Every structure is written in C-alpha cells, then in structure tokens.
Amino acid sequence: MSTKKRRAIFILIFSEFLVCLGIGLVIPVMPFIKNELHLTATDMGIMSALFAFAQFVASPIVGRLSDRIGRKPVLAVGLFLFMFSEVLFALTNKLYMFNISRTVGGLSAAMVAPTAMAMAADITSRQQRARVIGWLSAAFSGGLILGPGLGGLLANIDYKAPFWSAALLGLLSMVALILLLPQEKELLASDVVPTSEKAQAPSDIKGFLTKSVVLLFIMILVSSFGLQGFESIYSIYVNEVFHFTLGNIALVLTLNGLISLFMQVALFDRLVNRFNETRLIRYCFFFSFVGTVWIILAHAKWAVVVATLLVFTAFDLLRPAITTLLTKASSANQGLINGLNMSLTSVGNVIGPIMSGALLDMNYHYPYLVVTAFLVASFLLTYEIKMNPRSKIIVKK
C-alpha cells in the first residue's frame, strides 16, 4: 500500500472516530442539561431521536451524492457541520437550539461515516478491504466507547467543555482533510470505477439491488436492531434479574470494548480470509443466538458475563463482515451502499430500544426472546447467499 493511501486511510479513520466521539460526548451531560433547564425525559428522548432521524433520512441521499461528486467534498462539508453542531450546542441553553444542533449532528454523521467507508472501499483492493473496514469499524466503536468517558472528564471543568473541545477537533480535522487528503482518483484501486463514471441510471441501480444485496441490507437492519435491543435494556435486565452492581456492569462493558477493538483491528481480516464473509456472518448470527439464549437460561453471574461477551463480540464482527461483503457487490455504488447501510442501522437504533423497553415492561425475558427469533431467521437467510470465485455475491438457486 502506497504512502498516499496510508495517509488517506489514517485521515478517514480519524474522521470516523471524531464523529463517533462527538456522538458519545453528549451522554454524560444529558442529566445535567435536563435538571439545569428543567426539561422532561420526553424532551431528552426527542433530542436523541432527532439525531438518529436525520442520519436515517440523509444517509442514502448523501451516499448517492458522494457517488456523483466525489468523497472529499462530502467529507469536508460533513466535518464542517460536525464542528457547527458542537459550537451550537455549546453556545445555547434553549431546547429548540439543542434540537437543531442534534439534527445537524445527525446530518454530519450521515455525511462522514458512510462516505469514509465508501472511500476506503474505493482505494483498497478486495484483499486489503476487510482489514481497512475492520480498522474503520474499530474507530466507530472506539469513538462511541471513549466519548462518554471523555465527556464526563471534560464536564468536570465545565459542562459545555466537551462540545468546545469537539468543535476544535472538528475544525482541525476538516483543515487536515482539505490539505492532506488526496483526490480519490489518485488513489483508486484497479478494480474500482472512477467517480465520474459512477452516475448510473435508475435502471442500473435497480440491477444492483439484487435479491442477495437486499438480503444483506435486511441483515444490517436485524443486526442493529438486535444489538440495540440487547444493549439498551442490558443494564436493567442484569441488575433486576441477576443483581449486578454498577461496578459489575461497568466491568462487562469495559471488557467488551477492549475485546471489540482487538477483534476488529487485529483479527477481523484474518477471520475473513479464513472463513470468507458469508460464513463469518453465519457464525456471528449463530453465536449471538447461543449467547442470548444462554443469558436467558443462566443462573450464575459468571455465565451471564461470558454469554454477554460472546453476544457483543459476535455483533461487533457482524457489521463489518456484512459491510465488507456489500462493498464487493459493486465497484460503482460505494456511496449508495454505505449510505443505505448507515440509514438502516439508524432505523434499528431507534426501533430496537423502543421495542425492548416496551417488552421489558411485560416480562424480563420477552425482549431477548424476540431478539433470538430475529437472529434465527437471519442465520437461516445466510444459506441463501453464496460467493463466487471473484467474491461477488449471488443468490443460491
């Protein structure tokens, strides 16, 4: 890999990490904002939902736009909007301005995260792609993991300090991207169609959205729904059913973060080369199902911890595996692919917690029983997908 490509990949990883860090920074400040401004839980919920909604709506549109005009301008505007949203959040004490800030933040995430993934797919060969997507997934996870902790530390100085810090990082990242990131046409892998040739007709896009591709997009929705459905009520579930303390929960989540980063950075590429993406997706659905059932049937804390780490690790490998396979489905629609990917993830992130919370009110085990049903269905669907020798996905006849 050339020096230019390495530099481009580093900038993409940092941009992805920065946006996810900004998503997490707001979490520890939320209770303070709620109490300080006398807001309701509904107000805070709407604020969070606006971010996900903007991301859901904008991601496929932005992805298609980046296919037409190129990745670099979309990334630069996305980082500018990220900086603007953080400055807006830091300057205001009005609820409607917080809502505007989070909406702009969702738009910035829709512009940066899928576009960075699309550009990474553009400039890497099929052999290199799994490794780089693993690094980007680790940056995504790392930002979400470190964001709340860093936000809490900075909030001890001033509760607006996390947002000023994120805005400064956004400005520096935007300047670095504009000055240091080469145009993608200078870096394109040999099997990738140049951006200028990517503006395909609607009929061509319909040809790209084959049954196999649609199945993979359904799996993205299921995996994000399953992860959020599992994770959003996890603390309540293990506290009420297994009497986990805050320390126990923090230990499990910390271990999961460390294992996730290690698996995505160090082992993901090797697992793809060993099993191929289709088998890895199948195994991830299977082990996440096993882990979820194990938690439902467990009686000891150690069993719950092991099962939890099994589920989280499977989910953390599942998303980059599906993304890697999707990027190999077409050399001319990376923006559209990753935009739809992010959009469907946003849907799962919204629906999963709502459904799990409602089911939890009925019975502690209902949320995980529903999750297992979706995991089984997805596991069976993987047998409808095969890979040909050139790694393009086809549907089994």
Instruction: Read off φ and ψ for residue 159, nearest 5 degrees.
Output: -70, -10
Q: List, in sequence order, the alpha helices (H) in the chain.
A: 3-25, 30-36, 41-69, 71-91, 95-123, 126-155, 161-180, 202-208, 211-231, 234-242, 246-262, 268-275, 277-297, 301-327, 334-362, 366-381
CA 212 distance to own-chain centroid: 21
Which homologous superfamily is 3-189 in?
Answer: MFS general substrate transporter like domains (1.20.1250.20)
Cα–Cα–Cα angle for 214, 219, 222, rounded to 5 degrees: 130
- Host H or E run for residue 393: strand 393-395
Q: For residue 333, what pLDDT is reported?
A: 67
- Distance, in Å, from the CA atom of 190 to the CA atom of 127, rounded to the nearest integer, reads 12
Q: Do 3-189 and 205-395 show the same overall fold?
A: yes
User: Which residue from 174, 327, 75, 14 is spatially nearest to 6, judged by alpha carbons?
Assistant: 14
pTM score of the predicted model = 0.71
Q: Using the Cα atoms of residue 103, residue 67, residue 265 and residue 281 in order, give the sign of their dihedral.
A: positive
Q: What is the torsion angle, in degrees rounded to the nearest 10, for the CA atoms of residue 271, residue 275, residue 276 and residue 282?
A: -100
| Residues 163/86, Cβ–Cβ less than 8 Å | yes
CATH of 205-395, picked from 3.60.9.10, 1.20.1250.20, 2.40.50.140, 3.40.50.720, is: 1.20.1250.20
Compute the Cα dihedral for 178, 181, 187, 189 and give only its sign: negative
393 forms bridges with which residues in the sheet? 387
Q: Which of 209, 61, 227, 226 is nearest to 140 (CA)?
A: 227
Please give the pLDDT value at position 209: 63
How far apart CA 111 and CA 134 sit, in angstroms, is: 20
Question: In the structure encoding, which two tokens stand for residue 148, read together?
Answer: 């709340």
The two most distant CA atoms of the chain are separated, in Å, by: 61
Domain segments of the chain as ranges = 3-189, 205-395
Q: What tokens appear for 306 in the block?
A: 């092991």
pLDDT at position 291 is 92
Question: Which 3 state secondary structure label does DSSP give 207?
Answer: helix
- Residue pLDDT tens, the chain, 397 long: 677 888 888 888 888 888 778 777 776 677 677 778 887 767 777 777 788 788 888 888 888 888 888 888 999 999 999 999 999 988 988 888 988 998 998 899 889 888 888 888 888 877 777 788 888 888 877 777 777 777 777 878 887 888 888 888 888 889 888 888 877 776 766 555 554 454 454 445 555 566 777 888 888 887 777 777 777 677 778 888 888 886 787 788 778 778 887 888 788 888 888 888 889 999 999 999 999 999 989 888 899 899 989 988 888 888 888 888 877 766 666 777 777 777 777 777 777 777 777 787 888 888 888 888 888 888 888 888 765 544 444 444 4
